[in-house]
Amino acid sequence: MSEHDSAKDLVRRLKRGPDEASVGALLEQFGPRLFGAAMGLCGNAADAEDLVITTLQKAVHHIAEFRQESSLFTWLYGILYNHHLMLRRKYARSRMVYVDQLPETADESVAHPLEGIAASERAQELLAAIERLPEAMQDVVRLRYFGEMKIAEIAKSLKIPGGTVKSRLFNALSQLKNLLSNTSN
């Protein structure tokens, strides 16, 4: 069964009434991609996990609204992205500043702990560079590389032509290359 067919079957099962098996299948099939997308938006695992859980809860609750005009992942990503924007606006209005951050733990599979720290620092540099791009470019970069969406899916999701997506990606990657080369010097 293809991914498209299994997603259609999953939607059918969820629309009949979500049960533990169908919700588990939704999490298993789309959780990792949504988590990758959420990491690109949030920049840390804890917030990304919260965002994915909230997204899946909203999706299950509103599955009747899914009209299957796009792929299930595109619809899920839309929920994830819109919820993230809502949270950003909410926290931008509040003047609360979080200063207590736990350090990232090194991945046990990494040969030397300093390698894990270096990789984490590079990831943070990349996320910071993405934040410096214009918002339209940030959107296509996040959808393409963190959301693992195809050009056509991005175009449909953002309601822009595929050529515009390609142009924004090309320009964004060029700007990221310059930004990252300036930070490594």
Looking at per-residue pLDDT, the higher value among 56 and 98 belongs to: 56
**Using one digit for the tens of pLDDT, what is the confidence trace for 137-161?**
888 888 888 887 888 888 888 889 9
Asked if 56 and 124 sit in the same domain, the reply is no
Q: Are residues 76 and 132 in the same domain?
A: no
Residue 84 shares a structural domain with residue 123? no
- Are 9 and 84 part of one and the same domain? yes
Name the domain boundary from 54, 77, 102.
102
Identify the CA nearest to 50 among candidates 62, 59, 42, 61. Answer: 42
User: Does 34 lie in the same domain as 82?
Assistant: yes
Tell me: do 46 and 127 sit in the same domain.
no
CATH number at residue 64: 1.10.1740.10
Query: Which domain-ending residue is among 66, 82, 102?
Result: 102
What is the domain extent for residue 43? 1-102
DSSP characters for the chain? --HHHHHHHHHHHHHH---HHHHHHHHHHHHHHHHHHHHHHHSSHHHHHHHHHHHHHHHHHTGGG--SSS-HHHHHHHHHHHHHHHHHHHHHHS-------PPPPPPTTSSSHHHHHHHHHHHHHHHHHHHTS-HHHHHHHIIIIIS---HHHHHHHHTS-HHHHHHHHHHHHHHHHHHHHHHH-
pTM score, two decimals? 0.59
Domain boundary among 67, 102, 137: 102
Tally of domains in the chain = 2
Give the domain CATH number at 164: 1.10.10.10
pLDDT digits 0-9 by tens, 8-52: 888 999 989 888 898 999 999 999 999 988 888 888 888 889 999
Do 143 and 160 belong to one domain? yes
120 contacts 104 by C-beta, under 8 angstroms: yes
35 & 116 share domain: no
